Amino acid sequence: MALTNAHAEHEPSGPKTLSWPRRRGPARKLHALSRTAALSSKAALWSKAALCALLLAPDAFGDDTGESDPVAEVLTSPGGAGGAGAEDAPEFWVPDPTIASDTADLLADGDRYRFCQEPGYRLWPHEKDTYCPLAEHLASRCPELPRACERPPYGVSAEKDWSFDLSPDLDWLGAAAGLVRILFWIVLGLGVALLLRALVKNLAEEIQRRRGREAPTPEFVAWTPEAPESPRETDVQRLLARARDEAARGDFAAACGTAYAAALRALEHRHLLELHRSRTNGDYLRQLGAHPEEREQLRGVVREIETVQFGHALPDQALYERILARVTTLVGQAAVLLLFVIAPLVLTGCGDGPVPDAPGAAHGPDGYALLEGLLQRHSSSAGRRVRRLNGSMEAVSTFVALSPNLREEEWEHLMNWVSGGGTLLAAGVPAQLAKRLEYEPEVRSCDTVLDAPGLALVHAKADTFGAFPETSTLVSCGEAPFLVGMDYGEGVVYALADAGWLRNASLAAADNAQLVVQLLASPDGRVELLGPWTGSGANHPLESVHNAGLTPWLLQLLALAVAYAVSRGVRFRSPVEPVREQRRAFVEHAEALANQYARSRASGYALEQYGRWALERIRERVPVRERDLHALAHAVARRTGGEPMAILKILVEVQSAGQIQGAPEEHHRTMQALSRILRDVGGA
Amino acid sequence: MNVEEFSRAFHETADEVSRVLLGQREVVEHVLVAVLSRGHVLIEGVPGLGKTLLVRALGQVLSCSFRRIQFTPDLMPSDVTGNNVYNTKAGEFMFVPGPVFTHLLLADEINRAPAKTQAALLEAMQERSVTIDGTTRQLPDPFLVLATQNPVDSQGTYPLPEAQLDRFLLKVHVGYPSVEVERGILKNYLGGFDPGRLEEARLRPLLDVEQLLQMEGVLRSVAVQDEILDYITRIVTRTRSHGSVYVGASPRASVALLSTARAAAAAQGRAFVVPDDVKAYAHGVLRHRLILHPDAELENVSADDVIEGILRETPVPKSAA
């Protein structure tokens, strides 16, 4: 068998024929040799056997970078030859038993991979179409999927736009997922524990209450009715149940009170009443003024219940029955209304059996959790990339592009990184990548078996590439390439024609996972999955805002806030609490005192006191030898130019204010006149 | 007489009085309750609301002797209680009883009489007897004073001191009638009604003194639970510690509230008192017994506001809430 030297010169950028993939070393070359030679399977087997012998010699081809070659290790290690049956399997793709066991182990988690393990699981219509053809290949690892294929698909259309992932998937958090999951279960557990504790406590108290209750007092003993034991119970049905229990025990007093409380609560729930400890039964009846029917019903209950609570009526079965009949009518009205509200909610809540995982859910048939889980187990680390591809990617050794929505600059950044020595597996070749790979996208369908010597690969409906020049076909479907690889600068690009082949249900079938893990696993580096989630994270909050396209809005809001602040002005000092007045103003005291005088009809007394003081001031201002008012009045008249007799009249009224009764208005007028005289003579 | 008969008689009396006094049913019932509780009533209202008409109509319906005193500033105590007058023919002093010697006494505008005259009447109200020249003379039984006063008149009035207001069982406010009621009043006038000639209204004398005494006896059989007593006590004692009240209600107020509550219960045909009965008469019993702080008056807080607040914060016995 002639070995075609497919080794090509390495160039810093641009696609090249894959000849010596940097990381894989000899294995890659072997791969390229077998493909490009287009040997038959048997010839390929012999040639591979010969070449394996060569691999035992180190540096056989000289271009060994010194990096470890996991495939070579698989081939050379005792278990690396593929485990059971490896002697018969082609040496190139040797099934790794650890990959198989990890795949089975991951899929055995029925809480996550419900489509594999949950009895009664039903698939969405599109899932059924896509994955049921693989059912026979999934039976061992996903026993429920073949059974799901026999059931009708789930009723809701799969075209419904699920804008969010309903299933809690925390695997993308990587190492933190476990901690978050633990915290979640702790919080949930605490909540359930508190609820159970409340229920048990309530039940225990109820049991204790029933055991400790005394027998009703006999009729001949003066009986004092007691208030309901739990007046603050608000649930109507619980109150009615308690009333029935109390009546069954013969405590009709409490039963009547409890039934009445149920009636009030029922009306309260209908917002017809506001219960308060200070409100009487009459108050409640008045509140129902606009509802005559309920008012009459409640009035009947009130009449009966008051004979029990405040009268000396001995409650009996008949009384209780009468009260209960009225209360039931009132509660029934409330229940009917409640039924009209609740029934539609209940009916709309009916489901169609257990709800399957949402289409595209991480652990659903269409998810990528299995790929991520396998890569985590066989790589240094693996996880989803949520940040944008705009920073350092040194820690990453391999990217797996699962139809991500990358910007042009991100593709550029990614391909620059690949050309610097990275590895990229693109599931499907988007236009931005095709442009860079100089590939004219062409998709064909293939119905034949995928060809990968040593592995049994299966597919449902595989898409294949058209002519993909400058690449090495790693897996073919018939004559068409299904998985190709090429050098890109210092790095390697793998292109997978069918993006759906890496989904959980597809990867779980046969040896599909073997190929992918062997191709992508990186024990020394990190593997990151690029997908629709890429770009949803951010290195910092501002980046997050920018990614969401909110930057212009926030800037505008900020500008508006600044404009508003400027318009409102800026404080020149820190705000202080207003000084609380601890005392009333003097004028309020004077006003209060005046009110007291007015209430006491003490205007005459006030005039007397004021007049005494004012007269003294007037005498000071207008000194006269005589003390009588006549001389004083004339002196004031000469000073002010007023009428002497008028002034004398005022002075006489003032002086006799304490002796003669008068109306307050008259006293007030006199005081005002005296005040004017005092002002005219010079004031106080 | 049992409670049902009491209730029937009560409502018939109130209906009969309400034939001539439209739109004041609550006032009529309050006055009737006071009559049956052997308490005096202070009726306050602006002029022209039928205060005098109420008492006159009540006097006719109750078949009780009825006298009226118009209080004026020059009214002397002897004008109220009576006096010993020397009879020249007999050569001795003879006692001429004053208008207070009656079953129902209407003291119109009691706040227009000087304090001395007021005191004479108030002593008669309290003791139900008058002492003149050392001789004590009992007043008729039942003896009820219905005093009226005008809240807007200030000139020439002598407001009753708070200590004497406490002697009134109830203070009732008479307010303006509604539009419909006032229309009915006008129709009554068109129909020939004349309050000055009340006898032409032909009010039926439904009760007499004997029946009134029987009804008072029924009240003594109305049961009162301890919880109701607690409720009354809590309300009244709260007035003594309320921040807006300078002087609260006395134990006399508690007794008054209890008496009126029993009458109210019997009027409803019940042989027991419920909290509604207490609440219904709390305002009437307490509003004239509270002296508010000047600060509260400055803030336009009235006695009714204080009582309403106390009722709102006092838990009702055996409440389901």
Q: Determine the residue type at A185.
A: W
For residue A436, pLDDT over 80 is answered with: yes
- Taking the C-alpha atoms of residue A459 and residue A137, their distance in angstroms, rounded to an integer, is 10
- The answer to whether the beta carbons of residues B274 and B265 sit under 8 Å apart is yes
**Minimum distance, in Å, between the CA of residue B294 and any CA atom of chain A:** 6
pLDDT per residue as tens digits for the range A540-571: 788 778 777 888 999 999 999 999 888 888 77
- All residues of chain A having their beta carbon less than 8 Å from the beta carbon of residue B276 are 280-283
Calculate mean pLDDT across residues A364-390: 88
For residue A276, report the phi and psi dihedrals to the nearest 5 degrees: -155, 150
Three-class SS of A90-109: CCCCCCCHHHHHHHHHHHCC
CA-to-CA distance for A288 and A297, rounded, in angstroms? 10
Q: Compare CB distances from B279 to A261, A280, A593 and report the shortest one's residue.
A: A280
Stretches in chain B below the pLDDT threshold 70? 152-156, 320-321
> Percent of chain B having pLDDT more than 90?
34
The pLDDT assigned to A334 comes to: 54
Query: Per-residue pLDDT tens for B207-256?
Result: 888 888 888 889 999 999 999 999 999 999 999 998 889 889 999 999 99
Compare CB distances from A279 to B227, B295, B321 and report the shortest one's residue. Answer: B321
Q: Which of A279, A280, A588 sits opposite B298 (nearest CB)?
A: A588
Closest-CA residue of B relative to A665 is B155
The angle at the Cα of A340, spanning A338 to A346, to the nearest 5 degrees, equals 95
pLDDT of residue A68: 44
Residues of B in contact with A231 (CB under 8 A): 319-321
Q: Which residue of A has its CA nearest to B228?
A: A310
Please answer whether residues A502 and A496 qualify as being in contact, where contact means their C-beta atoms are separated by less than 8 angstroms: yes
What does pTM read for this prediction? 0.49
* pLDDT score of A352: 53
pLDDT tens-digit map of A637-664: 999 999 999 999 999 988 888 776 777 8
Bridge partners (DSSP) listed for residue B108 = B70
Which pLDDT band, with edges at 50, 70 and 90, does A47 fall under?
A: low
Residue B155, pLDDT score: 59
Residue A502 burial (CB count, 10 A):
22
> Does the predicted interface ipTM exceed a cut of 0.85?
no
Q: Report CB contact under 8 Å: B321, A275.
A: yes
Which is more confident, A605 or A425?
A: A425
Output the pLDDT for position A38: 42
Name every chain A residue with its beta carbon within 8 A of the beta carbon of B156.
663
- pLDDT the model gives residue A158: 45
| Residue in chain A lying closest to B158 (CA) | A601
Preceding omega of A532 cis (within 30 degrees of 0):
no
State residue A239's pLDDT score.
87
Pick the residue of A278, A301, A595 with the most B CBs within 10 A to test the interface with B by mutation. Answer: A278
DSSP conformation class of A452: B
Size of interface A-B (CB pairs under 8 A): 91
For A119-147, the three-class secondary structure string (H helix, E strand, C coil) is CCCCCCHHHHHHHHHHHHHHCCCCCHHHH
Residue pointed to by tokens 């066991």? A101
Classify residue A396 as left (phi > 0), alpha (psi -120 to 50) or beta.
Answer: beta
Residue B305 has a pLDDT of: 92
Q: What is the mean pLDDT of chain A?
A: 76
User: Does B156 contact A at CB distance below 8 Å?
Assistant: yes
CB A369 within 8 A of CB A169: yes
User: Does B294 sit within 8 Å of A306, measured CB to CB?
Assistant: no
How many Å apart are CA B21 and CA A9, to the nearest integer? 121
The least confident of A78-92, A614-628, B96-110 is A78-92
Write the single-letter amino acid at B47.
P
Residue A281 pLDDT class (50, 70, 90 cuts): very high
Does pLDDT of A450 surpass 80?
no
Averaging pLDDT over each range in A215-219, A450-454, B121-125, which range is the top one? B121-125
Backbone angles phi and psi of B192, in degrees to 5: 105, 5
pLDDT tens figures, A146-161: 888 888 888 654 444 4
Integer angstrom CA distances of residue B31 from A198, A293, B39, B57: 55, 32, 9, 12
Q: Do B320 and A312 touch (CB under 8 A)?
A: no
